[in-house]
Structure formats: structure tokens, C-alpha cells
Structure 1
């Protein structure tokens, strides 16, 4: 058996659009990719791939799933065979379960504990920012003075760590977290003299998220100038947080990056916040570190186009050359945008509208060749030796590009700009190239085998559907599509309270001892309950990675709605359609009430059937009739809540 650790690495590394692209010619359609189904002959593309959700759906056959299930369908692989194929394609070492030692199991537990404590800390810092006097006066005031809106503060889940020496440490210990895990996460220090100190005290907090949205660590900015401390402090490296493998804002930016097929790379937290607030929401930051291959690969999962934004500082610009070369080496398209003197992305975004920023980008973003020429020609100062070095520097960058056609285009561009014959540049390129050519690991296999389409779980027949099945389907759809969404509801006293979709559904089902009649739906519901017990909200992205093909197909179908309006159509028609999330609280209230009504209907029906029993006594009959009256009255109350007339 392949270990769960390896399976997780495979799912984190493999890109569904790349693998599907080996078999299907995909073209961008909004934030998704579309192509002709590999499972049948069709003229109109109905095969959809979502890079953001890492799932696919073939609407012609009803099939769908993740990168593993695609290989199982198209190549008839078993689940382990598909995993091994992906491991080989992405050079991932397979770890077998029998090699999964006790120490490795403990390491996995520690990783999960770190995720839990960082999530706990994030909520603590958010609460301090919004609900404490100190947080309001210092933290919230700082963010507002910097011009950040409440929407941005909430979207990036910004927080505040109080001045008290051990506010978080004390709170975490009281809630059952061990000193060891608190210290491992870099949130506090515990001394032998029983004194404890919060690492981030008196700082505004910037949570750092993984690609999938899990809290990995924090960046904290101190607001006082009269202390000898670093302006910014980051969480230490640990089993879940690796600074070189994360990009600030990527989780919030990934949908817009896919939609625009472009990523803007800046340096700091506030650069990202200001750009997003100005409407440039496909912006991420390297958070002050030198750009790494791991960070570039994260962006490449979403787009091949990067524009690097610099504030015009010469030292920083020259240091960026290495990062640009690394981007080129990953076979990505890189442009550079220099901002006006004295401006950085934060200040520039605050002074200009979204349209003005977009116009500036269009007019001033330049390819890496012109960028290097403009920067280095000033140093060359008509010195022929320095000019020759400049040309070699540019050709060296071109040599890193794996695509030979792109190399030729850039050579022609360099020849034109520098006034050097192409033959001379190609000769220099040949000398710089590595002696061994890289072997491609991608291979297009034989034509996909045809397979009889499976019946879709969520049927679209014109037949009248069973009402209970329809309502149960809506409940599962809410869980898979919006399970982690926070909603505001009213209790029996008409008082507002906040919860998540999953927490409300599970609470209602537990309180009323409800179950779903559809076995697959009940199976998912039980899995969601287990997740909730472990402080995890299991939504569609979780179930789309299941080893159960039936579960994966259902999750995929519900996550990719066939009849949803395309973004392009909406824009062209000039129709302003509200996001579905805006209606979730009403849908949740409605579907739970309807389900309870159906549940009561079935209960009343069972009671009515009992009255037909010839052997029933008058006393038993009276008791049953009382129950029928009680549940009929309850049903009437629920219908009134739905504003229905009976």
C-alpha cells in the first residue's frame, strides 16, 4: 500500500490540467479549461477542467473526478496504478505503508497538531483585533490609517497580538494545548523559571495560508518605534511552514490569477493588500525572501505569465535578475514593471484607481530583455567590454529557456535591440547551453479506451423526482459547495448567531436525530461529522480526493454546475448576477426546514399505516392518533416558517 503521506504529496504536486492536457486539447474558458470529451465523439466541447479546484467533469458522459480518477477512466488504471503513474511523472518517491514507522506516524500527528494550533492562534488574533479595546485602538486603527477596508481586513483574516507578555500562551494552555506544540509553532517561548512570552506580542498579524487555505504561520509587524525589535517577524520554519514554499496572498488570489491568466509578484504583505483593494486581485508576494523555484511552481499551477513589480531601487532590481532567470528556467513568460520613483506597490495602488493601474501596467510592463538592457546599459556607459558582458548576460538568460522557439524569438529581439547579428548570438547561445538536453517526462499515450458511461448520481431526467431525494441532494450540495462558508442565522429567540454551513447542518441533524435515506449521502454526512470532531470542515475539495470513485464523481458533479452562467456570457449580456454565497443562509434555512417537514411526513405516514392494523387496541389507536395530531401541528408550524399556505 502507498502511504497516505505519499498520496498527499501526489495530490499537492500533480496538476489536473497538465495530465488531462496530455490526452485532451484544452482551451481556456473563463477561469476553467474546456475540450472535447475523450470518452466519446462530440463536436461541441463539454469536457471541463477547473485548475483552481483541481477537478474535471465530462458533461457528455456524466463522469468526473480528480487527477487520479481521470487516469483510472482514460487508461483503465487501478487506483494504485494511477498514483504510481503520477509519482513517476512528477518524480515523487513512493513510500510504502510498511515503511511507515512509529516515528513517521508521530511526525504526521505533530504536523496535524501544528495546523490545529495555528488555526486556533489565527482566530485568537482576529478576535483580539475586532473585539478588544487594545486591538481596536492599536491594531484596527493602524490598518484603517493605512487605508485598508474592513472587507480586505476580513478577507485576509488580519489580527492583533496584545501587549500582555503571555496573552496567547495563557489562553492556549487554558484550552488544552501543550507547551511543546505552542513553542514548536513559534507562538510563544516557555522558560525553566515558569515564565512564558508570546513571540508576536504587540504586533498586527498577517496569517500565511497554504495553497488550499490552511493556516501555516504568521507574519507580525511591530507598530512602536521605541523598541529594539525587528519591524517584521515571521513564524519559524517547522513541519508545516517553509517560507521558501509559500507565497503571501496566493490562496486569496488564485481564482483571479486563473481568470486573468496573469500573476503580479510583489514583495510585502501590505503591497498585496493594497493591490487587492485596488482591484488587482491576482497579486501575490514573496514576503521579503529571494524568489525560489518552489514559489514559482506554485504560480505555474495557475498561470504561465508573471509580471514582477519593483519600486525602482537599483540594488533590489539587480538582485532580481536571478529570480527572473529562475522564472525563465521554469518555461514561464516574465515581464517586469518598474514603478515611478519613490513609489512601491502599496503606495502606488492607494493613489490610483483600478483602471489607472491597469493602464500603467499595459503601457510600462516590459519583457526581461528590454528590462536588462535598460538597467545594464547605464552601467556600460558606451564601454565596448561592458556592452559585450551585457549581451552575454542576456544570452545567458535566454539559454535557460527550455523552449527552442521562444529562444529564437528572444535572440531575434536581442539582435534588434543591441544591433548584433543573430548568428553571433546563436553561437554564444550554443556555448552556454548545457551539454545534455533535458528529457521530457510527458508522454501522450494511445487513444483513450471507450467505456460505457456511468449513470450520474444527480440525475437530470425529466421524470418527477422523489422530493426527499431532491432535498437530501440540496443538503449535500450545500456541504460540498459552501460547507466552510460562515452564515448568520437567528435562533428560537430571534437572536442572531454566526456559524458555518457544515456546523449548522450537523447540529440540526444531531439535535433532531435525523439521517439521510440515500446511503451515499449518509456516508458523506458521517464523514463530515468525523471531520467536525477533528476541527476540520470537509467540503467538496476534500471529497474530490477520495479513493471512492462514487464519492469523487458526486463531489465533482456538485462542484462544477453544468448549467451555471458563464462569466463571459454574464459580462457580454450586462447582467449583474449576485454570487450564490449571498443566498446560502436562506438556502440553508429553507432546505433544513423542508427536510424536517418531509421527515415528519414520513413519520405520520408510518403512524397512519399502524392504524390499519386489525389487531390494534383502542388505547393504542388513541395514542397513535394523538401522535399524528402532534406531528401534524408541528408540520404546520414549520410550513408557516417557510411562508407556505396549506
Structure 2
């Protein structure tokens, strides 16, 4: 269904990009903008930039860019309409929903449909818990025994499912949800012979939310003794749920994690809920799976500090050690806390209370060196070989840390704890690093050998049809003697599809990009009274077409607007709609506008403090010179292109008449003089 344009405008005006992105990433102020590590790709140094004035974001690492709507589309992997509805709900903008037709339902993508049916299931389980006799006597009684209050039950949207074969299936079908959709969501199972039944039966339900609060899966605990049933049962992997990428409680905890600047990591649902109720809200669980790299990266969006809270038994120690190196490898600061033997976070916070639990965390949390060393020293006693083994084990963890300065500092700490020389610790770390590099090289060599063997089994020569297909994809005919188009004139994905290398910009495309950047940022500025930069550039580029398609399209729009008496600005491109595949050009132009108006670096305030002043492009003289030199470079490169074409024509053997040869030579000399004059004006070496 389509949302009216006036409603879209209200949503966009209400949405604040800092608030929207802060729900998913911790932003830090730098100058007039905000930065963070990008949530769309793995990085250790922040390259994700948010501009609150223009209400846009840009990652200088992976290239992702857009406004608040585009961010929600990318981070949640949802469509344009669903992203607008998300923001409308967040900011209380009412949308007049139209009744969906069968055609509308068909157009909904699978992900959005799954989220809708999972939300239905969550509500159904909540109602069953609160209204059915079985739900109240079994499910609600269990939660009360665990000490969960009504606000806590509501905050985590806990529920119950009846001990019946098809209660959810029947209610879902009655609401219009197909059996196929319910099965794709992991809510029902079908067996051979046509038997269909609910996956979850007679269990208390723990909805699993994504970062934005949408239900994407369920964890379920059985309450009766049944050796044929697992105690805990989780949703299967679906299009919206990948358990290795999800942390239980992250939606409820993200604000507290950001405020406290530390994340407590536990193992179970009830650990999270009990600590949250006790006022320790910055806690999540890696439930249903061992700790994964993706889960650690999710924590890193909100804080660089992690404290692992695991049970004090052998299994808890093993789990803590298993996750330790992974956390270090992602560059996070790690502490570990093992609770007294026989206790878990849920039982211990009920036993000692919230204040005593917080005190215990503060007093007994250890960094990973003390954590490992204490166990090795206890086990080793007076055995020097065991002590050496312990030192090597701790050093192996240090090698996982990407920051060399941290590694240096921690090597001193290891030397102090084990009472050995710092140089011996550094030597061991270096030995382990070399060993890792050798193993990495061996693996790389093995992969290379496998690729070579695969290539050797392929046909040795490409068929004529394959070559023609490649050329057809590039719209190039070698037989006609045409040149290949510049690499940047092809989209990167098209180049990849044709088996070519990633597109490389030509020198001319860089100058075209610079011209569009000047127009977008400074087009309305007057270089002299009555002459704007836009007027100057368009008059100098009269009848010149850019060879890079997105830049040529933007230049055309500037020309058309100028004819109407208007001068476009960056906002005219930033505010373009991005709904539907037919508007791919508008999405591309919006992306270019963000790229060209977002500076990667800002002058440090420290420079001003020390009276180091850097000339700004905003100054008229500098701006005029930048535009003048940019136009000269564009014209010079176009002249060089034409000269190269004429040289090729002059060298080609054929039936050229003397008159045709003279004409080509005269034209070549004309462009040669232009090239030399522009080189002189630019102060560059004159080409020979």
C-alpha cells in the first residue's frame, strides 16, 4: 500500500537522524558531526559519519550513505514503506492505513511478512498467558515463582503456549496467515502424511527481539517433566533470524549499555530478565549458541567494554575461556567474573540482592590476564613447565589483540604476574605471531593450489560465443574499431557480472565529480557581483557532456533548473524519494549528493588554539580558483582524448585520401595547441 506524500513529509520532518542511528550505534561527537564504527561492515577505526545539519550519514569505508529512512532500510533489511512505518511508529506520526488487497499482500516481501506473522504469534502467546486458565495457572505461576513482576513480563513480552497440537495454527489461519508463512516463520511443523502441528506446545515463551525491537524468533521452556522433550526449544533459522547474529535482551539493554559504557554478557534468558529487574539493565545473553564474532560486533556498536558473567562451575569457566579470545580479537576491552560455584546470575542476584551483586561485580571482575594466570598458577604450583605453558597460553591471547600498543602494555603486565622478564614475554608473543603468520600463509597457499587445480580442470580456451557475450555485455564491437568505454561508465556490479575487475575511475571522471561537488556545495555563491558559481560553470561547459553517467545526469538537471531561473542545491538531491525500482536514478543521485557534501576530515580545534589557520574553500578567491582550474582540467582531458582518437585514425592503414589525412592532421594540431595553452595556464609540464 502507498503512503500519501504529505504523510511521508511529516515522517521525514519528525525523524531526527541522530536519534534514529543512536538506537543501533553509539555515536560520538567530532567537530560539527558525529562518528562511529560502521554497523554495515567490520572495522576497528570509525569511518561512519553522521551530519545532523543535513540529516544524512556516510561511511567512508564501505560507501553506505543515506538519510534516516535509508538507514532503517539498510540496517533492518526492509523495504521503503516498512521503514517509513517504523519511523512513523517511533515518532508518533499517524498513518491512515488502507485495507490491503490480495495484490498488496502478494507484493509484500517475505521478510516483512515473516515479521508480521511473528508479531501475531508474540501477541497470541501474551494473551494466552494472561487470559487462559492454563496460561495463568502454569505459565504465569512459573514467572511469579521466578520473581518476575508485571512490568518485567511486559518489558520482555513473555508469553505461554497451550499444551495443544494446533492452537496457534488454527488462530493463525483464522487471522488469514497461510500455513506456508507460519511454517517459514518456524511456528509450525509439517510431517509426511500431511500432519501439521505447532512447534511450541505447553511452554513458557521468551520472544527474541532484534535491535529495533521487532520479534524475530522465540525461545521456549517446557515446565513438565518429559524425557522425550528438550528442556529449551528455540526457533529454527529463518530469513529474519540467524541465531549467531542475535543477542537476547539487546533491545531492552542497548540504552543502558550506552549509558553505563559496559555490557554484561550472560548465558540464559532468565539471567538477563532477573538482572534487568534488579536494575542492572546493561545485560544480554548469547542464548541458543556459543558466543560468536557477529554477537561481539553487535555489542561493539554500543560499547568497547565487555564483562562476561558466567557460572563458577567447570562449564562456566570453559565457556568464558572459549569466548575470551574472540572478544580480544575484535579489539574490545574484556573483564571476566565467575560467580560462586553453584550460582548463576539469576540465582545469585535473588540471593544477595541488586546492590550486593553490583558490589560483587566491581570487586571481583578480573582482566583476562589475571583470570587466566590465577588458574594456571594454581594448577602449576612449583612446576616450571606448567608455568611456562601458562605464560604461553596468556601470550597467545595477547596476540589476538589488534592494537600493538595494547599488546606492548599487556606484555609488561604478564611479566609482573608470572615474575619473568618482559623481554621473554615479548619474545614468546613474537614467536606465536610468526607461527600464526606461517599457518595463515600455508592456508593461503592451499587455497591457491585448489583454485589452480579447479582452473586446470576447466576448458583451456574460451569459446567464441563466450567472448561475444562478454563484448555484447559491454556494448562494444571490436570489429568496428571502437574503443572500450571508460571503466567508470559501467556500474561495479555490471563489471563484476562480466568477470572484469572492479571499476577504476578515470582522471576525467574525478574532474567531473569535482565539478558536481562545487555545484552542489557552492552553486549559489557569487564569485563576483551578479555572477554565481553555477552560472560561471554552466557557461564555460556549454555543450560539453560528461562521460560519467550519474554526473552527466546531475549536470543536466542543473542546466534545466538554470533555464527556469533556479539554482539547485544539495538538498534538492538529498530529499529525492527512493521508492520503487523505477527511481534508481534518484537513489544514485541522492547517494552522490551525500558523498559530495560530506567531508571526511575536519580541521582540529587544536590548530586554532595554536594559531594555525588553514584557508577555507568558502573564501571567494579560493573558490573561484578551484572552479577555474577544474574547468581547465576537464577541457584539457577532453582535448587529450580527441588527440588520441585522431592519432589512431592517422596511423590506421586504409583508403584515406590526402585531403582526409590533411584534415585529420589539422584537427590534431588544433587540439594540440589547446592542450599546450591549458597546460601553460595550469602551470603544468607541457606534453610533448
Q: Establish whether residue 365 from structure 1 lines up as the match of residue 365 from structure 2.
A: yes
DSSP-derived class of the 1:224 partner: coil
Partner of 2:182: 182
Q: Kindly tell me: are residues 453 and 311 of structure 1, through their superposed partners in 2, closer, same or farther at Cα, counting changes over 3 Å?
A: farther
| Distance of 1:437 and 1:191 partners within structure 2 | 46
* Residues 309 and 336 in structure 1, CA contact (< 8 A), matched pair in contact too: yes
Shift of 1:56: 7.5
Q: Kindly tell me: are residues 49 and 225 of structure 1, through their superposed partners in 2, closer, same or farther at Cα, counting changes over 3 Å?
A: same
* Residues 211 and 250 in structure 2, CA contact (< 8 A), matched pair in contact too: yes
Shift of 1:222: 0.3
Query: What does the per-residue CA deviation read over 1:516-550, in whole Å, with 9 as the maximum and x for residues that have no partner?
Result: xxxx9xxx9x999x9xxxxxxxxxxxxxx99979x
Partner of 1:621: none
Partner of 1:34: 29
Q: Kindly tell me: are residues 71 and 246 of structure 1, through their superposed partners in 2, closer, same or farther at Cα, counting changes over 3 Å?
A: closer
Q: Kindly tell me: are residues 437 and 376 of structure 1, through their superposed partners in 2, closer, same or farther at Cα, counting changes over 3 Å?
A: closer
* Residues 129 and 136 in structure 1, CA contact (< 8 A), matched pair in contact too: yes
Moved more, 119-128 or 312-321: 312-321
| Distance of 2:347 and 2:235 partners within structure 1 | 26
Alignment of 1:73-84 (within 5 A): none
| Distance of 1:348 and 1:181 partners within structure 2 | 41
Unaligned regions of 5+ residues in structure 1, if any?
1-15, 21-29, 38-46, 91-105, 439-447, 455-519, 531-544, 553-646
Q: Kindly tell me: are residues 71 and 415 of structure 1, through their superposed partners in 2, closer, same or farther at Cα, counting changes over 3 Å?
A: closer
| Distance of 1:146 and 1:291 partners within structure 2 | 26
Partner of 1:351: 351
* Residues 308 and 336 in structure 2, CA contact (< 8 A), matched pair in contact too: yes
DSSP-derived class of the 2:317 partner: helix
The root-mean-square deviation of aligned C-alpha atoms, in Å, is 4.2
Match of 1:435 among 426, 434, 437: 437
DSSP-derived class of the 1:373 partner: helix
Q: Establish whether residue 250 from structure 1 lines up as the match of residue 241 from structure 2.
A: no
Partner of 2:308: 308
* Residues 58 and 66 in structure 2, CA contact (< 8 A), matched pair in contact too: no
Alignment of 1:151-230 (within 5 A): 151-230=151-230
Partner of 1:264: 264
Partner of 1:375: 375
Q: Kindly tell me: are residues 53 and 289 of structure 1, through their superposed partners in 2, closer, same or farther at Cα, counting changes over 3 Å?
A: closer
Shift of 1:194: 4.6
Alignment of 1:414-433 (within 5 A): 414-433=414-433
Alignment of 1:572-587 (within 5 A): none
* Residues 336 and 371 in structure 1, CA contact (< 8 A), matched pair in contact too: yes
Shift of 1:190: 2.8
| Distance of 1:161 and 1:168 partners within structure 2 | 8
Unaligned regions of 5+ residues in structure 2, if any?
1-16, 41-47, 76-105, 441-516, 525-570, 581-586, 595-688
Shift of 1:140: 0.9
Shift of 1:435: 3.4
Q: Kindly tell me: are residues 34 and 352 of structure 1, through their superposed partners in 2, closer, same or farther at Cα, counting changes over 3 Å?
A: farther
Q: Establish whether residue 66 from structure 1 lines up as the match of residue 61 from structure 2.
A: no
Q: Kindly tell me: are residues 139 and 430 of structure 1, through their superposed partners in 2, closer, same or farther at Cα, counting changes over 3 Å?
A: same
* Residues 51 and 258 in structure 1, CA contact (< 8 A), matched pair in contact too: no
Higher-Rg member (1/2)? 2
Partner of 1:615: none
Q: Establish whether residue 342 from structure 1 lines up as the match of residue 333 from structure 2.
A: no
Shift of 1:394: 0.3
| Distance of 2:297 and 2:276 partners within structure 1 | 22
Partner of 2:291: 291
Query: What does the per-residue CA deviation read over 1:313-350, in whole Å, with 9 as the maximum and x for residues that have no partner?
Result: 12331343231001000011000011122211001122
Shift of 1:193: 4.5
| Distance of 1:107 and 1:322 partners within structure 2 | 45
| Distance of 1:309 and 1:547 partners within structure 2 | 48
Shift of 1:132: 1.6
Query: What does the per-residue CA deviation read over 1:39-86, in whole Å, with 9 as the maximum and x for residues that have no partner?
Result: xxxxxxxx4569999998767xx3323346x999xx9x9969xx9xxx
Shift of 1:271: 0.2
Query: What does the per-residue CA deviation read over 1:562-593, in whole Å, with 9 as the maximum and x for residues that have no partner?
Result: xxxxxxxxxxxxxxxxxxxxxxxxxxxxxxxx
Partner of 2:480: none
Shift of 1:187: 1.2
Alignment of 1:485-524 (within 5 A): none
Moved more, 364-373 or 189-198: 189-198
Moved more, 254-263 or 237-246: 237-246
* Residues 401 and 407 in structure 1, CA contact (< 8 A), matched pair in contact too: yes
DSSP-derived class of the 2:347 partner: helix
| Distance of 2:193 and 2:387 partners within structure 1 | 64
* Higher-RCO chain (CA-CA 8 Å, sequence separation at least 6): 1
Shift of 1:351: 2.6
Would you say how many aligned residue pairs link Structure 1 and Structure 2?
398
Shift of 1:196: 2.7
Task: Tell me the TM-score normalised to structure 1 length.
Answer: 0.55
| Distance of 2:148 and 2:39 partners within structure 1 | 29
Query: What does the per-residue CA deviation read over 1:491-524, in whole Å, with 9 as the maximum and x for residues that have no partner?
Result: xxxxxxxxxxxxxxxxxxxxxxxxxxxxx9xxx9
Query: What does the per-residue CA deviation read over 1:94-118, in whole Å, with 9 as the maximum and x for residues that have no partner?
Result: xxxxxxxxxxxx9993333222221
Partner of 2:464: none
Q: Kindly tell me: are residues 245 and 547 of structure 1, through their superposed partners in 2, closer, same or farther at Cα, counting changes over 3 Å?
A: farther
Q: Kindly tell me: are residues 78 and 219 of structure 1, through their superposed partners in 2, closer, same or farther at Cα, counting changes over 3 Å?
A: closer
| Distance of 2:329 and 2:426 partners within structure 1 | 18
Shift of 1:185: 2.0
* Residues 35 and 50 in structure 2, CA contact (< 8 A), matched pair in contact too: yes
Q: Write out the 4+ residue segments of structure 1 that deviate beyond 6 Å after TM superposition.
A: 49-57, 77-80, 545-549
Shift of 1:453: 12
